[in-house]
Structure 1
Amino acid sequence: FYNSAEEMAKVEQGFSITTEGGEIELPYIYGATINTNMLGYVYYKDGQDPLTQPHYILMRDGRPKENIYWDSWQGTELHENMQLSVWGDKDSIAGHGPSSLLYGTNYKLAFFGENHELETGTYDFPAGYHVVFFIRPMDCGSFESKGKYNYSLPELNRRIGHYYMKGPGCDLSQADMTRGSVKAVSWTYKGHRFLGFEDGADEDLNDIVFWVDGAYTPDQKDEIEVPSKDPDPEPEAQSWILACEDLGAIGDFDFNDVVFGISYVAGRDFVTVTPLAAGGNLPSVIKYNGMPIADNAEIHHLVSPGVTPGDDGKYPFLNTRGSKGVAGDPIKVKVGSDFSMEKHGFTITVESNGDSRTITMGTETGKAPMMLCLPGDWIWPTEWTRIDAAYPAFKDWVKDVNENEWYKSPVEDKIVQ
């Protein structure tokens, strides 16, 4: 932790805490953004993965205009979103009288039970929980899109595809994919521990700044202890990926328009479907035996619940722009106990200009397939990258079906990471 601007410039790690039993407060003290960011937190125990735990929102509008007042509490709001020129102790604000004092909103962490079962939380946070913070920038779509968050731990950012950039902008050629982006820094000053967040790409890390006060100890390492293997593990499942084209013969043949995983344990009467990517613009519904696999089985919604099409009716690309991102929630689909992928029954219905098209596993002789069945660890091409560019041996398989190991030799910079 750092006591000067020079030392703060050396920060490379993020920030998380371990609760000690009691209240934890987050007074808002500064902001330099015009964006309506949300701020939240995740709590978890040793052995749990924070990315899989519920994400709680503390602040739905992170603009300083909505959180800082001067002259008196709720007296006069800031006239400009980024206006905050005075901060200090009450008796030491040089050249300013008491009317220049600033007042910020105060937030407290709430605990909703070890299993998140409580409808009403308590501010008396038990000891022994880790807490990591995050912001959800204004322009990232659905709240449920966890792949769009900026976490206070770089390791979590790395895992969702927010990599450390060696140069300005978002050019993935400048990304160090072994490191997560630093979107939060912490330092101490005058007895307070500060936490500053970045909501964009200018990396000034001052878009939302608050104190973290109360009963906690800062964690000393940027590592997440993931759960150990179950001592009584589930039977091993077989897994596959179905990769589909949505535009038929006029498509780009990147086979990432609809991508979802299927896992199955022999003898069971259900499979688990995991939505992975939506690299097409058109509404595309996953069906099993002619019926949608969920109430809203459109692939974009399954990958990122709440995402909506634009005014032109087209959806955004999800998990195909360089990063595989975060998969959607798994869905159990009822099947027979004799299920096999040879006759799996999954189809895709694509809507376009009032017409619908059904994509199936089969294809006519001499025509390109629109759906490929691949091993569960297969990685799909990046957006607009033809599959034979990402997997050159694909052409050999087209000529001879016995050349069926083409998927094992990708061109690394042409597949998602």
Structure 2
Amino acid sequence: MGKRFLFIATCITSTLLLATSCLEKNDVYVKIPADQFFDFDLNQKINLSVDYGFKGKDYVVLFDLYDENPIIENENGELVKKDISPIYRAATDKDGKFSGEIQIQSALSEVWLYSEYAGTLSPIQLEVTDNSIMYNQEKYIAKATTRALTPNNHQYPDDWLTLGDWSTLGTPTYLTPGRVLPDAKTLYNINEIFVKYNGTAMEQRDYGKAFFAPGVSSEIKIIKATKVYLCFINSSAGWYNSVGYFSYPTGQEPQSVSEVQRIIAFPSATSIAHKGETGALVSGDRVLLKYWDGEKFHDEFPAGVTIGWWLQGMGFEAGNVKPKVDEKYNRFSLSHLNSDGKQRSVSLRDPNSDQLVAIGFEDNTDLRYNDATFYLQIEEKGAIDESNTPTIPDVGNPPSNTENFTTYYGTLTFEDLWPSMGDYDMNDVMIDYSCKVYKNTSNNRVYKIENQFIPRHNGGTLQSGFGFQLSSVSSGDVSNITIDGAEQSQYMQGANQEPGQSHPTFLLFDNIKGVLEKTITISFELNDLVEANVVPPYNPFIFVESDKGRGREVHLVKYPPTDKADFGLFGTGSDASRTDEGLYYVMNRLKFPFALNLASIKDFPTPDESVRIDLAYPQFNDWVKSEGKTNKDWYKHPAQ
């Protein structure tokens, strides 16, 4: 009886083990819908919406997204842009709007929105929420604490004057209603001259030399009574500068600082995006400058007076214009009032109108004249003397197609024993890539891509080739293909696309061993395609034992094989593909991928030979088990 029971128990146990084994191997294959398989993608699809609020302006701007704050303050107190690449770039429409689906790293929970174009706030830190990034400049401004205009009982030097009160962060209570910006052409010119930083001082630029010629003046001579408005455009300064004006009878320039009656126009000439939203102003904020006759203010400047400008470096602190200013940071439009004798402001007249003047200030040493940028609105026509004020050069343009590009980069890693499991050290074939995607500014559709692939490591013993397919593109949409850096694959048969494929397919080499550490380039033009259909690295694959054939393709999880793949290998070994459902390169235990795209990761270390990736990176398993919801930066935490 005991032996019979033992025999029955053994049979039951064996049956259960067999059933468990079969279930373990096939359960995922049978029960999980194809669209629910984890794809091991380190990217996330994001709905991006940007609205700068330029409705009716016919003003197209370029904007970038960064994975860190792109602006730092240098040792001279100047805000400068880091030498880093954006994770995404696009152009708005003529109303300053953009809407579309993009891909960014899954590990990112926040990004920085940046644009060099006048009228935009930058940089703006934004959260990734519910697979969306949303920015509406009007709503952002409305929520900004800097716009709370509560009386501050401010302080300022006893011998200065002010047009009114301001908030703790320096926003004037006397701003005129609404915000006013010039036309798009003027904005593009201001943007090119004062806002964008091209690495050279203003006086060294071809168009800038005329601004410093003998007899040129930054002051504005009034020859007819008029109202004058000063409108804020931008600030690239790291300092909290105060900006204002003074006036004097034309021809009677003050000879010393003591003769200047300074009037505060903007106590803090800083954008509200300045240093964590601690600035005061938004592009288009405007104040009415008032004429001081020695006893009281008047709304109009009379004929026969000249308006000059001053900037007090680091003048604003703790809600106040410093009652005691640092004289060495006095900056005046009259060069002889400056301790170094340098010209500290540039005024440029609109050649099509005598009613608008662009003004740029320099607060320190780089001489870019973009530390505070304004424009003047002269209410009356014919109210200013044009003789000594140079015109603003017509050098600004809407963003060009060559500027509208995003560079995608990363590393591809493959296991070459598919459909078997392999050792999962993920180093059999490793290829670094960098792909520059160019888009038309009019519609953000892709017209050209320049690619670089650098085979980095070959840990496998089998001969492997490499290629990629544009799986959502037809062959007729690709032209002017050039491939350089490696001997052409024999399977390309001398063509620039692999023959016999239903989608454009490019084989870059047949044997990785012969091209290790070489740069292989491939460029092609496209017929204005939707960016989502051609996001690098496309549909990359290796073809294993390429010396025997090219049918044994290994792709990223859930990516389709090409028409030349050996379909007889699917569903064998550890592969759980369901070709009838369009599900490919998934594993029957859903534990490891056969290939990985380490998108937007630089210098990913080459894994040690025969060390499984989950041992080399202990958080990898948690990332997989959560299907990418947790431990999204597992690649930053190697085993000690």
Bigger RCO of structures 1 and 2 (CA < 8 A, at least 6 apart): 1
TM-score normalised by L of structure 1: 0.35
TM-score normalised by L of structure 2: 0.24
